[in-house]
């Protein structure tokens, strides 16, 4: 039944990219190769490039670089599209775009988030907005809804529960439905430590129920 739900609620490309994201974040190189080879049959090269690029935010540069190396071996020999221009005077544009995207993802929690991150370190707040949301997650090539589903997959695969909680909200705020997010968790169940998916699904159900109550109050 879960496999049927995956096929119904996630199109082939979306299912491929959430599995790629989870494999990059928490899998072996063999896992990454397998998912990239499978993804290349159903997903555009542009979309796969974007998932690999954004993975450095959630899995670190080493895993992102390794995934890119595997992708160049099994997929196109060069990027499918030109990258965005280098920083230069684009920093202010990235900052504005980052604030806009971050506000969408965090919704009513946006101001609290910014305050909490600045309290940890002001530079972390700057990097989160300019680099994370502005330079990376705000890029063209992949819509924010599916970027957030890929982030959910990455956080689930690495057991980053605080960030998963935030990005379950973020995926809903970006336009994903609760069944789509549940299908994302189903799609990566073999790439996530045993037993964790059930807990993640319970967390999603609690978040969804709380949002329904708040919307009706």
What mean pLDDT do residues 36-41 have?
Answer: 98
The answer on 75 and 158 residing in a single domain is yes
The answer on 135 and 166 residing in a single domain is no
More confident residue, 77 or 145: 145
Task: Round the average pLDDT of the chain to a whole number and report it.
Answer: 92
What mean pLDDT do residues 83-97 have?
Answer: 79
Asked if residue 147 has pLDDT above 80, the reply is yes
b vs e for 2-40, b when ≥16 Cβ sit within 10 Å of the residue's Cβ? eeeebeebbeeebbbbbbbbbbbbbbeeebbbbbbebbb
Domain hosting 60: range is 2-81+141-216
- Lowest-pLDDT choice from 29-38, 84-93, 139-148: 84-93
What mean pLDDT do residues 57-82 have?
Answer: 93
Residue 6: what pLDDT? Answer: 44
Residue 3: what pLDDT? Answer: 38
- Domain termination site, one of 121, 140, 159: 140
The answer on 53 and 14 residing in a single domain is yes
Residue 165: what pLDDT? Answer: 96
The answer on 196 and 151 residing in a single domain is yes
- Domain termination site, one of 101, 121, 140: 140
More confident residue, 133 or 214: 133
Residue 8: what pLDDT? Answer: 60
Show Cβ contacts of residue 92 under 8 Å, excluding neighbours closer than 6 positions.
none
- Domain termination site, one of 122, 140, 158: 140
The answer on 75 and 13 residing in a single domain is yes
User: pTM higher than 0.85, yes or no?
Assistant: yes
The answer on 191 and 104 residing in a single domain is no
> Considering its fold, how many domains does the chain have in total?
2
- Lowest-pLDDT choice from 84-88, 94-98, 155-159, 190-194: 84-88
Asked if residue 7 has pLDDT above 60, the reply is no
């Amino acid at each position: 039944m879960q496999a049927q739900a995956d096929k119904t609620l996630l199109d082939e490309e979306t299912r491929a990219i959430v599995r790629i994201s989870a494999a990059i974040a928490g899998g072996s190189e063999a896992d990454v190769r397998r998912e990239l080879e499978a993804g290349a049959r159903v997903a555009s090269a542009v979309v796969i490039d974007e998932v690999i690029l954004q993975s450095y935010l959630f899995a670190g540069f080493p895993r992102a670089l390794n995934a890119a190396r595997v992708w160049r071996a099994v997929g196109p020999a060069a990027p499918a599209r030109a990258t965005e221009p280098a920083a230069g005077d684009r920093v202010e544009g990235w900052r504005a775009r980052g604030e806009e995207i971050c506000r969408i993802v965090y919704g009513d929690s946006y101001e609290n988030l910014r305050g909490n991150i600045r309290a940890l370190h002001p530079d972390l707040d700057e990097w989160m907005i300019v680099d994370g949301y502005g330079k990376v997650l705000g890029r063209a090539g992949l819509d924010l809804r599916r970027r957030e589903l890929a982030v959910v997959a990455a956080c689930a695969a690495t057991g980053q529960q605080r960030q998963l909680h935030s990005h379950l909200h973020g995926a809903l705020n970006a336009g994903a439905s609760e069944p789509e997010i549940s299908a994302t968790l189903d799609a990566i169940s073999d790439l996530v430590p045993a037993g964790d998916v059930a807990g993640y699904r319970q967390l999603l159900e609690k978040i969804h129920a709380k949002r329904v109550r708040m919307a009706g109050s």
